C-alpha cells in the first residue's frame, strides 16, 4: 500500500482520505437506517407553483419492491401483521407529512415505492407512486452499491429525498338533466367519470335543484355519464358524453336520461336443479370504448334461484360481460388471451331487454395432503387458490367474489366491502390427517399456496431471478384431483432480491 501512495501529492492523499471518509459515513448512515424497525417517509405536497399544501390527506394504499433482479408488481397495503398500519396522515402548514411504511413488501423483499391516494378540497384527487427507499437492496453486489454511492457523490447529496407530490387545480363541470326528460326529477343526480376520482370526499356538490357540480375535475379528455334513480331504486342513464376539460374553465352539460335495460335468463340444463349457491355477475362497458381507457363502467350481480333463473338490476347499454357460478359449475369460458384466466361470456346491450341462457361447465375438486419437513401430516395449514376472471381484457379479480352493485355504491346504500367479505372463497384448512379439500375450481387454476404458523412451501425459481412459494397443479373437471406437498420451517430460505 505504501508503494501505491508514494507517488501521490499530499493534496491527492487528502482527497482520497476524504472520499474514504465520506464513503464510510455513507455506509454508517445506511447501516443505521437499515436497522430501523419501521422506516418513515417524509413526504411533501406542493401545488403547481411549488407552494406547500396544508391539510392534504395522504392515504397509503399499495407497495412496490425496490428495483433489482427480483422486482415484483403492486401489493395491496393491508393493515395487518405483515405491513403494519396504513393510517391516513395530513400535511402540516409546510406541506409535510410523515408516513411510516413496512421495510419489507414480502418476506425479505424490500419496499421501494409507496402507492398513495392524496385528497384536498381545492385540488384534483391524485394517486401518486412515490419512491422512498433508494439504497440498493441487501445482498447487492459491491459494484451496485459503489455505483449508488458514486451517484450520490456526483449529485452532492448523501441522502436521497422522495420527490414532492404535486396537486393541480381542476376544471369545473356542471351537470343537469334535459327539462323534457321523462326521468324522475325529484331524486338526487349522480355521475361517473372516466378519470375516476369522483369517489373522493365531497367531490360532487349539489349546487341547485337537479344540478351536480365539481371544481376538481381532472383536465383532459373525459367521459361523463349522469345517473338518476327512481323511487324503486331503478337507475336511468345518460349516454357517455366526451368533453375536453381545461383547468379553471367551466363545462356545462345538459344530458337526457333513459331507463336501463333489463337482463334476465337462466342457466342451461347441464346444471341439475335445485341450483345451490348460485350467483350471476355482470360488467358493462360503454359502447365503442376500451376498458384500458377507464371509461365509466357499470357492475351488478344477482343470486340465482333454485330453478336456475335470475334477473339483474337495469343496466346501461354497451358491451355486457357476464359470468355465473354455482355449486359444481361455472359459466363456460368466453373469448380471451390468457389460458390461466377465466373469461366472461359477452353480449351487446342495446335499447331492448335481453333474455339469456348461460352455458355452464363442471368444476373440479382439489385435495391436498400437506406434510411437515419430516413427512408427517400437518394440521391447521391453510390451502388457497385464486381463480381469476378477467373483464375487458384488462382488469381481473377472484372469480365469483365481486358481488357489488355500482348503483348502491353511488347512493351510499351499502357500506359492505365485497372484497372483505368473500363468498365461498377458494380455500380450506387441513384436518388432523393433513388433508384440505377445495371445491368448485375452474380448470384454468394452475397454482395453489399454503400458509401455516410454523411452515411454508419451499421457494422455487420461476425465471428472471424471481421465486415463488406456490405449487403447480393440473385439474380435470368433475373429479377430485389429489396432490401432496411437503413444507419447510419458516425462515429457512427467505425470498430476497439477491
Q: In the numeric block, which cell numbers belong to residue 198?
A: 369522483
- Between CA 78 and CA 469 the distance in angstroms is 20
Position 443 in a domain: yes
Reading the chain (498 residues) residue by residue, the pLDDT tens digits are 333 334 445 555 555 455 545 555 554 454 444 444 579 999 999 999 999 999 999 999 999 999 887 777 888 887 665 677 889 999 999 999 999 999 999 899 999 999 999 999 999 999 999 999 999 999 888 888 888 888 877 776 666 789 999 999 999 999 999 988 887 888 899 999 998 778 888 999 987 778 999 999 999 999 999 999 998 999 999 999 999 999 999 999 999 999 999 999 999 999 999 999 999 999 999 999 999 999 999 999 999 999 999 999 999 999 999 999 999 999 999 999 999 999 999 999 999 999 999 999 999 999 999 999 999 999 999 999 999 999 999 999 999 999 999 999 999 876 555 555 556 689 999 999 999 999 999 999 999 999 999 999 999 888 776 789 999 999 999 999 999 999 999 989 889 888
pLDDT for 34:
47
- Count of residues in the chain: 498
| Burial tier of 4 (Cβ tally within 10 Å: 0-12, 13-18, 19+) | exposed
Kindly state whether residue 406 falls inside one of the protein's structural domains: no
Say whether both 276 and 161 belong to one domain. no
Q: Over the stretch 424-453, which tens digit does the pLDDT of each residue have?
A: 689 999 999 999 999 999 999 999 999 999
Alpha carbon distance 102, 82 (integer Å): 8
Beta strands in 286-372 (DSSP E): 298-303, 309-311, 318-326, 329-331, 345-349, 354-358, 360-362, 364-371
Name which of 417, 491, 411, 484 is nearest 459 in CA terms: 491
Q: Which has the closest alpha carbon to 444: 389, 375, 486?
A: 389
Q: How far apart are CA 291 and CA 392, in angstroms?
A: 5
Q: Are residues 358 and 369 in the same domain?
A: no
C-alpha grid cell, residue 271 = 346444471
**Using CA atoms, how far apart are residues 128 and 120, in angstroms rounded to an integer?**
14
Q: Is residue 53 part of a domain?
A: yes
Residues 295 and 195 in one domain: no
465 and 376 inside one domain: yes
By residue range, what is the domain housing residue 272? Answer: 263-362
Residues 452 and 459: their CA atoms lie apart, in Å, by: 15
Residue with cell 355482470: 282
Place of cell 333463473: 309
Asked if 158 and 56 sit in the same domain, the reply is: yes
| Closest to 359 (Cα-Cα) out of 442, 269, 475, 477 | 269
Rg, C-alpha atoms of the chain: 28
**CB-CB contact of 276 with 245 (8 Å):** no
Collapse the DSSP code of 150 into the 3-class scheme (helix H, G, I; strand E, B; otherwise coil) and give the result: helix
Same domain as 290, residue 229: no
Q: Residue 20: is it exposed, middle or buried by C-beta count within 10 angstroms (0-12/13-18/19+)?
A: exposed
How many separate helices (H) and strands (E) can be counted in the chain? 4, 40
CA distance 475 to 340: 12
Residue ending a domain, choose from 258, 278, 307 = 258
151 shares a domain with 54: yes
* CA pair distance 110, 34, nearest whole angstrom: 10
Omega cis (within 30) before 274: yes
Establish if 414 belongs to a structural domain. no
Among residues 136, 166, 196, which one ends one of the domains?
Answer: 166
Pinpoint the alpha helices (H) of 95-254: 142-154
Assigned domain for 399 exists: no
- What span, in angstroms and rounded, lies between the C-alpha atoms of 325 and 361? 10
pTM assigned to the model: 0.87
Is the Cβ–Cβ distance between 114 and 76 less than 8 Å?
no
If asked whether residues 22 and 59 sit together in one domain, one would say no
Judged by DSSP in three states, 403 sits in coil
* Rounded alpha-carbon distances, angstroms, from residue 49 to 52, 53, 166, 167, 168: 9, 11, 9, 10, 9
The whole-angstrom separation of Cα 288 and Cα 223 is 12
Q: What is the pLDDT of residue 458?
A: 96
448 CB contacts (<8 Å, ≥6 apart)?
366, 368, 383, 384, 385, 438, 470, 471, 473
Helix pair angle (10-35, 142-154), 10° resolution = 110
CATH code of the domain containing 343: 2.60.40
Chain center to CA of 208: 36
**Residue 30: what pLDDT?**
47
We report the CATH number of the domain holding residue 478 as: 2.60.40.1120
Nine-digit cell string for 412: 351510499
Q: How far is CA 131 from the centre of its chain?
A: 18
**92/66 same-domain check:** yes
Tell me which residue of 238, 184, 164, 176 sits closest to 209, measured CA to CA.
176
Whole-number pLDDT of residue 17? 53
70 lies in the same domain as 109: yes
Q: How far apart are CA 27 and CA 31, in angstroms?
A: 6
Tell me, yes or no, whether 230 and 294 share the same domain.
no
In-domain check, residue 198: yes
CB 283 within 8 Å of CB 400: no
- B/e letters for 192-226, b = 16+ CB within 10 Å, e = fewer, are bbbbebbebeebbeeeeebebbbbbbbbeebbbbb
Residue 419 lies in a domain: no
Assess if residue 150 is contained within a domain: yes
Q: Are 332 and 392 in contact (CB under 8 A)?
A: no
Give the total number of structural domains in the chain. Answer: 5
43 and 151 in a single domain? The answer is: yes
Contact yes or no for 410/435 (Cβ under 8 A): no
Decide which of 216, 234, 258 is a domain's last residue. 258
Task: Give the position of cell 390468457.
Answer: 338
Amino acid at each position: 500500500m505504501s508503494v501505491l501512495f508514494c507517488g501521490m501529492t499530499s493534496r491527492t492523499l487528502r482527497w482520497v482520505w476524504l472520499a474514504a471518509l465520506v464513503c464510510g459515513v455513507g455506509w454508517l448512515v445506511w447501516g443505521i437506517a437499515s436497522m430501523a424497525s419501521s422506516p418513515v417517509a417524509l413526504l411533501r405536497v406542493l401545488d403547481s407553483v411549488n407552494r406547500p399544501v396544508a391539510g392534504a390527506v395522504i392515504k397509503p394504499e399499495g407497495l412496490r419492491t425496490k428495483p433489482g433482479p427480483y422486482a415484483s408488481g403492486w401489493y395491496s397495503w393491508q393493515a395487518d401483521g405483515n405491513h403494519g398500519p396504513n393510517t391516513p396522515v395530513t400535511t402540516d402548514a409546510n406541506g409535510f407529512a410523515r408516513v411510516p411504511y413496512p421495510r419489507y413488501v414480502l418476506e425479505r423483499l424490500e419496499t421501494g415505492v409507496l402507492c398513495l391516494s392524496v385528497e384536498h378540497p381545492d385540488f384534483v384527487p391524485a394517486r401518486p407512486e412515490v419512491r422512498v427507499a433508494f439504497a440498493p437492496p441487501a445482498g447487492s453486489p459491491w459494484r451496485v452499491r459503489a455505483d449508488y454511492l458514486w451517484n450520490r457523490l456526483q449529485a452532492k447529496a448523501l441522502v436521497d429525498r422522495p420527490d414532492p407530490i404535486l396537486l393541480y387545480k381542476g376544471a369545473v363541470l356542471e351537470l343537469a338533466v334535459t327539462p323534457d326528460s321523462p326521468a324522475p326529477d325529484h331524486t338526487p343526480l349522480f355521475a361517473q367519470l372516466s378519470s375516476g376520482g369522483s369517489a373522493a370526499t365531497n367531490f360532487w356538490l349539489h349546487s341547485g335543484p337537479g344540478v351536480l357540480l365539481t371544481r376538481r375535475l381532472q383536465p383532459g379528455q373525459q367521459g361523463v355519464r349522469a345517473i338518476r334513480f327512481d323511487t324503486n331504486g331503478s337507475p336511468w342513464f345518460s349516454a357517455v358524453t366526451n368533453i375536453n376539460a381545461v383547468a379553471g374553465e367551466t363545462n356545462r352539460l345538459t344530458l337526457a336520461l333513459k331507463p336501463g335495460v333489463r337482463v334476465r335468463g337462466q342457466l342451461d340444463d347441464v346444471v341439475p336443479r335445485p341450483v345451490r349457491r348460485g350467483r350471476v355477475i355482470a360488467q358493462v362497458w360503454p359502447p365503442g370504448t376500451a376498458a384500458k381507457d377507464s371509461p365509466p363502467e357499470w357492475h351488478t350481480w344477482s343470486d340465482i334461484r333454485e330453478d336456475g333463473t335470475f334477473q339483474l338490476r337495469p343496466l346501461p347499454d354497451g358491451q355486457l360481460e357476464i359470468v355465473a357460478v354455482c355449486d359444481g359449475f361455472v359459466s363456460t369460458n368466453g373469448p380471451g388471451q390468457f389460458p390461466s384466466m377465466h373469461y366472461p361470456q359477452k353480449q351487446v346491450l342495446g335499447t331492448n331487454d335481453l333474455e339469456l341462457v348461460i352455458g355452464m361447465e363442471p368444476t373440479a375438486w382439489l385435495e391436498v395432503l400437506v406434510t411437515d419437513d419430516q413427512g408427517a401430516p400437518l394440521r391447521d395449514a391453510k390451502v388457497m387458490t385464486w381463480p381469476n376472471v378477467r373483464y375487458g381484457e384488462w382488469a381481473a379479480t377472484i372469480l365469483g367474489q365481486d358481488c357489488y352493485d355500482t348503483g348502491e355504491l353511488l347512493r351510499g346504500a351499502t357500506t359492505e366491502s365485497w372484497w372483505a367479505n368473500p363468498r365461498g372463497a377458494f380455500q380450506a384448512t387441513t384436518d388432523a390427517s393433513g388433508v384440505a379439500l377445495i371445491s368448485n375450481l375452474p380448470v384454468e387454476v394452475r397454482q395453489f399456496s399454503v400458509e401455516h404458523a410454523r411452515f411454508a412451501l419451499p421457494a422455487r425459481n420461476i425465471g428472471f431471478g424471481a421465486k415463488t412459494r406456490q405449487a403447480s397443479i393440473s385439474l380435470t373437471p368433475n373429479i377430485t384431483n389429489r396432490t401432496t406437498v411437503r413444507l419447510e420451517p419458516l425462515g429457512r430460505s427467505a425470498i430476497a432480491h439477491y
